[in-house]
Amino acid sequence: MSEKDLTDPEYYLNRELSELAFQERVLCEGMDERNPPLERLRFLAFFTKNTDEFFMKRVGGLKQQIDAGVTGTTPDGRTPEQQWTEVLEEARPLFREQSEYWRTVLRPTLADEGIEILPVDELQADAQEKLSTHFEESILPTLTPLAFDPAHPFPFISNLSLSLAVLSSNGADETTFTRIKIPPNQPRLVSVPNENGRYVLIEDLIESNLDLLLPDLEISDVSKFKVTRNAEVRRDEEVAEDLIDMVEEVLEQRRFATVVRLEVDDDMPEESLSILKRHLDVDDREVFHRNGPIDFEDFFELVDLDRPDLKPPEWSPKPHPRLGSVTSDEQDGTNDIFEEIRAGDVLAHHPYHSFEGTVQRFLHAAANDPNVLAVKAAIYRTASDSKVIQSLIDAADNGKQVAVMVELKARFDEKNNLEWVRQLEEEGIHVAYGTVGLKTHTKTALVVRKEDDGVQLYSHVGTGNYHSGTAKGYSDLGLLTADRDIGFDLTKVFNFFTGPTLDDRFRKLLIAPVTMRERFTEMVRREAEHARAGRQARIVVKINGLEDPSMVEELYRASMAGVEIDLIVRDICRLRPGIEGVSDNVTVHSIVGRFLEHARIFYFENGGKPRWYIGSADWMTRNLDYRVEAVTPVETTELREQLRFVLEASLSDNRRRWVMRSDGSYERAPSDDKPVRDVQETLMAATEAALDRGYGPGLAVDPDRIEEKLLVEDVGEEEPDADSAEPDGIVPDDDEEPPHSDGGDASVFDAYADHWYRPDSDTYSWAVRTTDGERRYFKTRDGASRRLRAEYDSSEDRDEE
């Protein structure tokens, strides 16, 4: 058989269409009758929020490329204009489905349950009168009608603003177009006075009282519309004098960016529509007619109503069994969290485990512990009232060395992060806020603590942001560890944020953009070698996106070698599964549940000696090449068992899981008349069971919670997890001396801390990096000490000569 050309566009799905397919799955949850009514409404609101961002970022970027004359093709063979055209065609029916379902099913269902959104003219006369009084007193003073006529220019329409387009006349033949912006600082849902559970939309209330706002005019039409603008506005970082000034300018430019979508009432007259199209510079393909509410995002307000009968059972994050509940004493001072972490790694899984009781507690303890010398953290997104930031400020007030990396280019959080930068700097904290050409996407924190046996490093490496709000709705993992190698690796990463360069030598962490792509590629290829040799070979990866063409090609080659591959990809996926002779062994899954699946887990079976990793990076080009990312190995058997349980529960889910067809479309995983297995419900139950059992693992890994074991259980002795270890395993040093007293050689290990580490081996306890870049392994501390002296004391003497 001839070698297949795996760069052929037929093997790759389009990124934009793949993301739109994910939004369709979100919409399907909003129309799934198995979900309670307010849960369905929540998904309809998320569909609006997500597609707004999709048009601002992705469609905006395509239009920018078209305007710049870009004609190059993506790996799937499409030009920007072809992608733009197809995306608009694919999106249009989705908006129609959202409106239709709301109008014909969900709105009547909510009305039957006592939650009604009504037209003003359907209310009783006394209710209309009270609402009119409310309008005149509270809403009218905030409105500013902007007329468009020979004496007035066409008004500026801000991004995502909802507006009324009014056609009116004063008795003459000329018609005037007036734009009225719906005030964003007023509640969109206006309660009907003295009628619990009944609302009108503010735009309908304004329309019904236009005679008070535009008196003595003849109103011929009132239509609603919403504008979406491009958010892909950038400045060249290489020529930016100050990153803060650059980000502030980008935020300002977004206000006036190109319009990429115009949503209008289904019955908007051609006169109003033509005015909007002409002055907003959009064509018919960018106009979306809506039959019903144009914007559903404000309906989150209804989702928050105290109606538990219309929602899924409430979930409150639980304490981690090894850390216990946070007491008031622990909030005010230090606690034993460092002792617990040093006793063994802790794996936190949000929102199953409390963010406040794990990550926030770790940083709070660091801020108040007199033995802590330094605290460092990388902030990508955080809450507006962040206790994480407050802990860092407290740490500085308590005399700790504090360094914070705040990523100013975190899209749509730029303004919030700018405010935090200013506050941190006012507290005298050293803040790094971005690097040229890279975004900092790591979810990492480092605590340096003085202890009886020396300085100890405590690390947190996570998959999610230091954001207490999203930690309640995003499914994320975080490793708390006292592993010295991971601590040293994080020290190098944080030094990069404030220093001139990023080291490319790491003991355990996979760091983008320097080592991560190479190491992941090696691990995929190693599975292929195992498969060709007849050994156990399996890859299971849980990520948010698989977009990088090179990683897709590596997975195709592994599949062709016989590796069984399961990809749990939440949204974007370029890979086509089920192609004969190419991806027969690949299955692509997607899980859409009440929590946003955000954790990244990487499993490589490695001939029966699995390797496990978690971290911040997806398999997208931006993550591997253009962001600072951190992925950590998980080496503790108990924690690996928990990760195995998460993946097995995900792969056996028959409620929230979708499976991709080779054409890029998705179908729900078949239930086969078996009991419902919802992975998120399974993990909630496992978390509660673990808490009931008392001190111990964070999840009760009970086999009967899932149908069958899908991954190998053997997590015994492994090769050392070093980034350049020899492929055949550990090579001991031939000259190792017999064990004897170390003779007080602590200074040698301190002096050459970057040249030794503890390998993951039951045989060898010490590893030394030699001056020629190789490694030597030792059973005793004294053997490692002698090698360090021989390598580096002598080399320094030669340099001095």
Alpha-helix runs per DSSP H in 516-587 = 516-532, 549-561
C-alpha 354, offset from chain centre: 18
* In contact, 697 and 691? CB cutoff 8 Å: no
Other CB atoms closer than 10 Å to residue 792's CB: what's the count? 18
Return d(Cα 506, Cα 534) in angstroms, integer.
32
The question of whether 353 is a catalytic residue gets the answer no
What is the rounded CA–CA span in Å between residue 637 and residue 642? Answer: 9
Question: Phi, psi at residue 70, to the nearest 5°?
Answer: -70, 130
d(CA 745, CA 756): 14
For residue 486 the two structure tokens come to 């991971």
CA dihedral 739, 740, 743, 746 (to 10 degrees): 30
- Amino acid in position 324: G
Closest CA to 537 of 478, 480, 468, 609: 609
Crossing angle of helices 637-651 and 679-693, rounded to 10°: 150
Q: Are the C-beta atoms of 227 and 159 separated by less than 8 Å?
A: yes
Q: Is the peptide bond before 351 cis (omega within 30 degrees of 0)?
A: yes
**How far lies 63's CA from each of 12, 50, 285, in Å?**
22, 19, 12
> In 230-370, which ranges are E strands?
259-265, 287-290, 346-350
Which of 441, 460, 467, 755 does the annotation list as catalytic? 441
Closest CA to 484 of 508, 446, 462, 457: 457
- Distance CA(227)–CA(52), nearest Å, equals 10
Maximum alpha-carbon separation in the chain: 106
- Please state whether beta strands 287-290 and 259-265 pair in parallel, antiparallel, or not at all (unpaired): parallel
Closest CA to 668 of 28, 7, 10, 6: 28
Which residues are tagged catalytic? 441
